[in-house]
Structure 1
Amino acid sequence: MAPGGRSAAPGVRLVQKVSSTRAFAKIAPHVVPAMDRTVHRLTRGKVLLSAKMLPGVILTVRGAKSGLPRRTPLACMPEESGSWILVGSNFGRPGHPAWTGNLIAHPDADVNWRGTDIPVRARLLSGDERAAAWGAALTFWPPYATYQSRVEREIRLFRLERRTD
């Protein structure tokens, strides 16, 4: 299945296959976020290149140690309730991505979703709630299974819900 529950088009299947490779895991963390940040800034938040394949947000959260705002482009899984699931896959590389530690330390954050800034609160998922979200994430983007198979750590999943405060 492609994102959104539809059958994957040949182009999507190719991207899924490529994104499951170890070469992609080495290169993508350096290229994709930088490209996304640049295009997002140049288009004043209207375009996120990676979102052409998967829905995406720009997460702004305070650094766990520095307290400074950290902006990270991320793929996300939008939920019907208006929340988002973020998957801390780190492209199947060892170690949790830094943004996950930042969210644990500072769960109040902001996302830019389709050009709109939205205040959110993050919750690290566990137990049955995590299992259900992981199953949905695997249906949404099957390469997550490959990423998990490469690492000993459990990939962190977060649900971001809109804040009204």
Structure 2
Amino acid sequence: MDDTARDAPSAQAGRPPRLPPRWFVRSAWVVHRGIYRVTRGRKGLWPPKPERWGTMRLTTTGRRTGRERSVIVAYFEDGPNLVTLAMNGWAEPEPAWWLNLLSHPEATVVLPTGERLVRAHAAVGAERARLWAAWQTFGDDIEALSARRSRETAVVVLEPRNPRQRSAPTDAIA
């Protein structure tokens, strides 16, 4: 066996990169939210940089309860839009926040620079391909990580919305 094969364990057998156990991932999320809460938002969020994604607090409306639900997710900026992945730590189920946005696309985000009202949609076609490629520039092997899931990972675009805008009823006839 040559040295290059031994030094590249993630390339062996085309296996996806190893992830920590699910309990560890969930614990990290709890700790991250706890830091944000205890510091009253002074720590826990950071802006994206050209070589790294940032973190934001996303508040959605619960699809079953109607209550506000907040999570901290990674993002990058695409012009005025914010882009994140509905990945749930690369676990199989869709994240609850994404299911909430599918039912109620209006949400609020808190960035290190302040709060924004947004409306979510899943990127499709050329937009999805472009934004997926942009995620790959951050060094995370999202292709290999997404292979762990049986379904395509949604690329979620959060567009700014005017606070006076009201969403049209979903049953309205155009």
Shared fold (TM-score, shorter chain, > 0.5): yes
**C-alpha displacement of 1:151:** 1.1
Letter matched to residue 115 of structure 2: D
CA distance in structure 2 between the partners assigned to 1:51 and 1:100 by the alignment:
21
Structure 1 or 2: larger helix share? 1
Supply the RMSD in Å over aligned alpha carbons.
2.1
C-alpha contact 1:61 1:102 (8 A) present in aligned 2: yes
* Max Rg structure: 2
CA distance in structure 1 between the partners assigned to 2:24 and 2:76 by the alignment:
19
Identity of aligned pairs, percent?
A: 27
Assess, with a 3 A threshold, how the Cα gap between structure 1 residues 50 and 115 changes in structure 2: closer, same or farther: closer
Letter matched to residue 74 of structure 2: A
1:62 corresponds in structure 2 to: 61
Structure 2, gaps ≥5 residues long: 1-16, 164-174
In the superposition, the TM-score normalised over structure 1's length comes to: 0.78
2:31 corresponds in structure 1 to: 35
1:4-43 aligned within 5 A: 20-23=17-20, 26-43=22-39
1:144 corresponds in structure 2 to: 142
CA distance in structure 1 between the partners assigned to 2:47 and 2:145 by the alignment:
19
The runs of at least 4 consecutive aligned structure 1 residues that moved more than 4 Å come to 49-53
Letter matched to residue 70 of structure 2: R
C-alpha contact 2:106 2:120 (8 A) present in aligned 1: yes
Aligned counterpart for 1:132 among listed residues 130, 138, 148:
130
C-alpha contact 1:124 1:159 (8 A) present in aligned 2: yes
**C-alpha displacement of 1:143:** 2.8
Structure 1, gaps ≥5 residues long: 1-19
Letter matched to residue 22 of structure 1: L
CA distance in structure 2 between the partners assigned to 1:51 and 1:143 by the alignment:
21
1:155 corresponds in structure 2 to: 153
SS of alignment partner, residue 20 of structure 2: helix
Per-residue CA shift, 1:61-116, capped at 9, x if unaligned?
0011111100001111222x132101012222112111111111111000110162
SS of alignment partner, residue 152 of structure 2: coil
Count of residues paired in the alignment: 144
Per-residue CA shift, 1:40-65, capped at 9, x if unaligned?
11222121168797400010000111
CA distance in structure 1 between the partners assigned to 2:154 and 2:64 by the alignment:
19
CA distance in structure 2 between the partners assigned to 1:29 and 1:102 by the alignment:
21
More displaced stretch, 107-116 vs 140-149: 140-149
SS of alignment partner, residue 133 of structure 1: helix
SS of alignment partner, residue 94 of structure 2: coil
1:3 corresponds in structure 2 to: none
2:13 corresponds in structure 1 to: none
